Amino acid sequence: MGLFKSLVRLFQRERTVAQLVKWLDVPEAELREWLGSAPMWARGYDYTRFTIPKRRGDTRTISAPNEKLKALQRRILYRLLNPLPMHSSVTGFVRGRSIVDNAQSHVGQGVVINLDLADFFPTITTERVAAMFRGLGWDADSATILSRICTDEGRLPRGAPTSPAISNLVCRRLDERLSGLVQPFKGHSTRYADDITLSLPGLGRNKRLRRHKGKSRPDRSNRPVRSPSRSLLTTIRRIIGEEGFQIQMKKKVRVQRPHQRQTATGLVVNQAVHLPRTTRRRIRALQHRERLGQLDATGQKRLRGYEALLNMIERQR
């Protein structure tokens, strides 16, 4: 938190629209149009909306900004958002961090818990984004302008370049609370976008959590945790709800013990970070077909992606 607080102190004097003009190189009159009720598509700022299929059969709506809007969002990203540090438990949408970093935190733990947040980007509303910018020191008008530039139909859009960084900043308190919940027990919490993983050592079915001696202390807003099966999961659900999110109920909350396959962001973490057995078999099959000259361009692209992931795992092991 030290670096984050020191950067936020730069914004302690409320920054105004006039200062936002200098940061974004946009005329003040044009920025102030975002405060009005007129549709901004009439000013050339618009989205193209389409759906793509999910692996489980549903569809996901993508809102892709046009070039004019994307250019403005990228200025916000590069000049206002990227300089801010993200919480150490965040591994998604952060330069230099990956799903392998996410998985390494949970290697060799006694229990690994996986859960997903439901409707992650759409849950983050324009009001929440404005509150985030206010927390960074922008005045009310500036925060409203920035939040409206970065949201679509009142929500954070999938497809805008600013959405990943904004989601991480909005989730900072959630990340702090989950980390504070498990750190006193030598546990770890990580989040890769909407995918949350928590792990703790040495928990048997009938064992109770015991705090380890050290400087770290639990978040005072978290109630005492008694057992991993009920109290911990209840506290996790409560924290997530209090921070304005919900657990994805279509996917079960997965509690994995050492005798089971433990995973984090799709990678096996029982003793070391590995690709799942089914993925390794798929890679060998694709490599065999390539040697036989039977792999089309799509298959070759998929194989190169798998090999790149495998190399990244080997380098970071």
Q: What is the pLDDT along the chain (317 residues), one digit of tens a residue?
A: 455 555 555 555 789 999 999 999 999 999 999 999 888 988 899 999 999 988 777 888 999 999 999 999 999 999 999 999 999 999 999 999 999 999 999 999 999 999 999 999 999 999 999 999 999 999 999 999 999 999 999 999 999 999 999 999 999 999 999 999 999 989 999 999 999 999 998 655 444 555 555 444 445 455 444 444 568 889 999 999 999 999 998 777 999 999 999 999 999 999 999 999 999 999 999 999 999 999 999 999 999 999 999 999 998 87
| CA 176 – CA 183 distance, rounded (Å) | 10
| CA 278 – CA 317 distance, rounded (Å) | 20
Segment holding 111, helix H or strand E: strand 111-116
CA angle 132, 170, 264 (to 5 degrees): 170
- Cross-strand partners of 180: none
Q: Rounded to the nearest 10 degrees, how much is the dihedral formed by the CA atoms of 168, 162, 54, 189? A: -10
| CA 117 – CA 30 distance, rounded (Å) | 36
Nearest to 254 by CA among 246, 266, 262: 262
How many Cβ atoms sit within 10 Å of the Cβ of residue 206? 7
Would the pTM of this model clear 0.75, i.e. be above it? yes
Per-residue confidence (pLDDT) for residue 299, from 0 to 100: 95
Q: Are 93 and 243 in contact (CB under 8 A)?
A: no
Q: Could you identify the residue written with the tokens 């298959």?
A: 299
Would you call 69 exposed, middle or buried from its count of C-beta atoms within 10 A (0-12, 13-18, 19+)? buried
Phi, psi at 46, each rounded to 5° = -150, 170
- Cross-strand partners of 62: 50
